[in-house]
Amino acid sequence: MRSDGDSWDIKTSVGATALFVAAARGLAARQPDPLAVDPFAEVFCRAAGEQWSALFEPGADTSDHPLVSTAFGRNFQEFQAARTRFFDTYLTRAVGAGVRQVVILAAGLDSRAYRLPFPAGTVVYELDRAPVLEFKREVLAEHGAELTAQRCEVAVDLRDDWAKALQQNGFDAANPTAWLIEGLLLYLPADAQDRIFETVDALSASGSQVAIEQMDTIPADVYSQMTKPSAEAPGRNQWATLLYNEPKSEASEWFSQHHWAANRTELADYLAELGVAVDPDAGQIRPTAASFVDAIKR
Ligand SMILES: C[S@@+](CC[C@H](N)C(=O)[O-])C[C@H]1O[C@@H](n2cnc3c(N)ncnc32)[C@H](O)[C@@H]1O
């Protein structure tokens, strides 16, 4: 279970979720006709070693890894590839509209500053905890990856007041910004999520954009099953214990009420639009429970 001020590195607690979604992206990229290709996702997993590199080693026994062994794993790979595609499209559209300041909250192993074709002069601020940002920087430097934008690390805890740290690193609230909040809200208490929305709004000039991934609250009986310790597979339900599964503000409503024009896209509809069939009952994250919100400040 979580506690105020708990901390992690790339292989522990919430930090390891960045590796988990990177692994899903790396595996999805190997499928025929992938929805998105993040060439650095596999590089991170190989550098992390252990169960993460095994996923990409031919002949390694990964039969008990949830990303490959279950219907959940296959669906989760599609989900991650779809969300990568959705948010890649969002950022490409935002810079196409002239925005040159991008802020990625909980950047984790997001490699967009190394792989999206950003126009000259684009600055990408990446916010996450220091050990996570360091791992990414070191692995990609070792790999010889080249930046496609100016990348600026801002090492913070997003439960604290992070606005000052962002501004001290050169962020200018007078210029329009494209914000990205992907894979974060699940891991925040409801009040910290509201503070994030308030800060994004306060730091956004007119014409700023935001894109957010959110999940419905998991019904209490399902969540209590998910977090029950399992004697046969200790650690199986560890992920669920990292969540703050409590009622939270719905992002499209929140931003609509604060003078943003907001749209909500259900993941299930987006997958259907892309022609992807998924099993709605396959495991912990059901496609019906996730949605993407994008909004523009008036
Ligand atoms: C599931 S990963 C998502 C990473 C990335 N956005 C992506 O989609 O690949 C969750 C990330 O949120 C970060 N995170 C969660 N809570 C945080 C907090 N309170 N402060 C800073 N980072 C946080 C973790 O360190 C981790 O990198």
Q: Which residues line ligand 1 (CB under 6 A)?
A: 14-15, 17-18, 21, 106-110, 128-129, 132, 157-159, 182-184, 187
Per DSSP, the residues of 114-172 read HHS-PPTT-EEEEEE-HHHHHHHHHHHHHHT---SSEEEEEE--TTS--HHHHHHTT--
> Which atom of ligand 1 is found nearest the CA of 83?
8
Q: Which residue has the higher pLDDT, 7 or 121?
A: 121
User: Which of the pair, 177 or 286, is modelled with greater confidence?
Assistant: 177
Calculate how far, in angstroms, residue 127's C-alpha sits from the geometric centre of ligand 1: 9
| Token couple for 31 | 């499928």
**What's the confidence (pLDDT) of residue 233?**
58
Cα–Cα distance measured from residue 116 to residue 114, given in angstroms and rounded to the nearest whole number? 6
Per-residue CA distances from 291 to 4, 65, 105, 195, 203 (Å): 27, 26, 17, 20, 24
pLDDT at 227: 87
Q: What is the mean pLDDT of the chain?
A: 93
CATH superfamily ID and name for 73-297: Vaccinia Virus protein VP39 (3.40.50.150)
**Residue 283's pLDDT band (cuts 50, 70, 90):** low
d(CA 202, CA 183) in angstroms, rounded, equals 22
Q: Take atom 22 of ligand 1 and give the residue whose Cα is closest.
A: 128
Position 233: which residue type?
A
Nearest to 196 by CA among 106, 113, 277, 279: 106
CA of 294 to the centre of ligand 1 (A): 19
Quick one: CA dihedral 21, 25, 28, 34, positive or negative? positive
Distance (Å, whole) CA 47 – CA 67: 18
pLDDT in tens, 119-160: 999 999 999 999 999 999 999 999 999 999 999 999 999 989
Please state, for a pLDDT cut of 70, what percent of the chain lies above it: 94
pLDDT of residue 286: 65
Buried b (16+ CB within 10 A) or exposed e, 98-125: ebbbbbbbbbbbbbbbbbbebeeebbbb
Ligand 1, closest atom to CA 105?
6
User: What is the pLDDT confidence band of residue 287, given thresholds at 50, 70 and 90?
Assistant: low
Whether the per-residue pLDDT at 11 is higher than 80: the answer is yes
d(CA 82, CA 90): 12
pLDDT of residue 234 exceeding 60, the answer is no
Q: What is the pLDDT of residues 160-205, one digit of tens each?
A: 999 999 999 999 999 999 999 999 999 999 999 999 999 999 999 9
| CA 188 – ligand 1 centroid, Å | 10
Which protein residue has the closest C-alpha to ligand 1 atom 17? 158
Instruction: Give CA–CA dist 65/68, Å, rounded.
Output: 6
